[in-house]
Structure 1
Amino acid sequence: MSKARQELRKYLADWGAARIEDAALIVLSELLTNAVRHAHGTHGRVIETRFVRLPAGGLRLEVHDASPALPVLRAPEPCADGGRGLPLVAALAERWGVAARNGPGKRVWAELRVP
């Protein structure tokens, strides 16, 4: 995960969008954590990241994995150790979602506005 975060920091700095770095790093970390936790077993652990500039000045973060299991946004239990990743993504991102990819698995994405 640290390599993906380093790549995102460089991407944002080169683009001149470092002002969204904190939010973007949290979103990326949560998407990657979900992929590592839930894209396992017979589906393998192949995880890819992609950063895309949007025409309207936003950033789209994508995490591709080989699992067909879809993420589910739920309210976390107050004392639970986990379950806060997608609520964080939903709070920080303009929007987020899941799309099929070519081949097995899915692409989970989140879009952030660059002010």
Structure 2
Amino acid sequence: MRTKGMAMSARARFVVTPPVATAVAYRFPSDARSVGWARRELRRQLRAWRTGGELTEQATLLTSELVTNAVRAHAGLPAPVPAIGVRFVLSEDRLRLEVHDVSDGEPVVKESTGVEEEEAECGRGLVLVDALASGWGVVRVATGKVVWAELPLPVTEMS
């Protein structure tokens, strides 16, 4: 560190702090409890990345929806049921949430057409994802699919 009016010693060296991991991945059992576990790990990672506030709340909600969809997609599969992959990726301007499941089923945004459907418990998660995320999509992989959603990072003003 340099102080005004003070020269740096010839033996002094700048220390480069290794960057915090910008991507982390987890494997959770295909079980409803995994939704809570994924939320907990997301919050922990966002604290490590020093992000919070509204981003954490929105990311937690999106993670819940994506992992819930993956658990439902695995329902009825013969044992042993494969694990669900969850990955969080932080870039300069966005947070990307990815959930991998082995189902071939394509996620579909279900628009409401009536009162009975509005009261239905499931089928609305992707409407929420579509409303909150700056973008989302599906990538086919050799073993199923990865459903992803992105949120922009809050802009911080420098003084």
Q: Which amino acid aligns with 1:59?
A: L
Correspondences of 1:46-61 after superposition (within 5 Å) = 46-55=83-92, 57-61=93-97
Q: Higher helix share goes to which structure?
A: 1
Which runs of 5 or more structure 1 residues have no equivalent in the other structure? none
Q: Which amino acid aligns with 2:83?
A: V
Which runs of 5 or more structure 2 residues have no equivalent in the other structure? 1-34, 155-159
TM-superposed deviation, 1:98: 0.2
TM-superposed deviation, 1:80: 1.6
User: RMSD of the TM alignment (CA)?
Assistant: 1.5
What does residue 132 of structure 2 align with? 92
Larger radius of gyration: 2
TM-superposed deviation, 1:45: 4.0
The correspondence for 1:66, drawn from 102, 112, 116, is: 102
- 2:94 & 2:57 partners in 1: Cα distance? 15
- 1:63 & 1:72 partners in 2: Cα distance? 15
**TM-score (ref. length: structure 2):** 0.66
Answer yes or no: is the 8 Å Cα contact 2:73–2:101 preserved in 1: no
Three-state SS of the structure 2 residue aligned to 1:31 is helix
Deviation by residue 1:66-102 (Cα, 9 ceiling, x = unmatched) = 111110111132222222100011111001000012x
Answer yes or no: is the 8 Å Cα contact 2:135–2:149 preserved in 1: yes
**Is residue 2:43 matched to residue 1:9?**
yes
Kindly, what percent of the aligned residue pairs are identical?
Answer: 46
**Is residue 2:118 matched to residue 1:83?**
no
Residue correspondences, number: 113
What does residue 112 of structure 1 align with? 151
- Larger RCO (CA under 8 A, 6+ residues apart): 1
